[in-house]
Amino acid sequence: MSKTIGIFGGAFDPVHIGHSKLVSDIKKIFDFEKILIIPSGKPVLKNSHFADSIKRIEMLNVAFKNTQDVFIDDRETLKEKTSFTIETLREICKEYESKQHFSFILGQDAFESFKSWKNWEEILTLCSLIVISRPNFFISPDYLDEFKNNITQSSSDFLMKHGKIFFAETSMLDISSSEIRKKVYKKEFKKKMLEDQVLDFIKKNSLYKN
């Protein structure tokens, strides 16, 4: 088994250069058959500071249109109820042969709460985890020790079977989508946080201003 399918979920509200840089960096570490970018469904608290699902998908398409083997998957945005990671993974696994390897991509902050996720143990039977380092973020050694049998820093070992955890050292930028929304709203936005085409889309559609 030499290739994996990456699964990268998030709100992407908006997608920023940290997201695109992350994808670029991990593609240099693993030989991905493809990467599925899956925007989450509607936020529980909806207001004008959030973009709707259609706009978020359009921004993702704009941001990654020239990135090879990256596809935007809208399945979670089409659901009326909240989608859990385990449910999405079950769906995806059914769409492929049983021998296919899947890698779920998440940040260190999300990994720290991984054991609180619905059916987290089953998640590790359906995929492996690529944990992305975040600037100035620290994970307790005691917490890491709970996963000592899963953690590997060998990319070949990672691809052998599901349930492995690989910590990827990337040039992750310290940018948050919530910070961008606030800065657009307050007219304090710095261009370097977004790809030019995404910024143009936000301006054209007057997002995050009301």
102 pLDDT higher than 60: yes
Residue the block writes with tokens 């909240």: 82
What tokens does 95 get? 């769409």
Burial of 157 (0-12, 13-18, 19+ CB in 10 A): exposed
Question: How far is Cα 85 from Cα 184, in angstroms, rounded to an integer?
Answer: 30
| Range in 86-90, 97-101, 179-183 with the lowest mean pLDDT | 179-183
Q: Which pLDDT score is estimated for 45?
A: 47
Length of the chain: 210
The percent of residues above 90 in pLDDT, for the chain, comes to 68
The CATH code of the domain at 4-174 is 3.40.50.620
Interval 135-159 mean pLDDT: 93
Which whole number is the average pLDDT over 75-84? Answer: 91
Exposed, middle or buried by CB within 10 Å (0-12, 13-18, 19+), for 155?
A: middle
What whole-number distance in Å separates Cα of residue 200 and Cα of residue 196?
A: 6
* Number of neighbouring beta carbons within 10 Å of residue 38: 22
Mean pLDDT of the chain: 89
The pLDDT score that the predictor gives to residue 180 is: 79
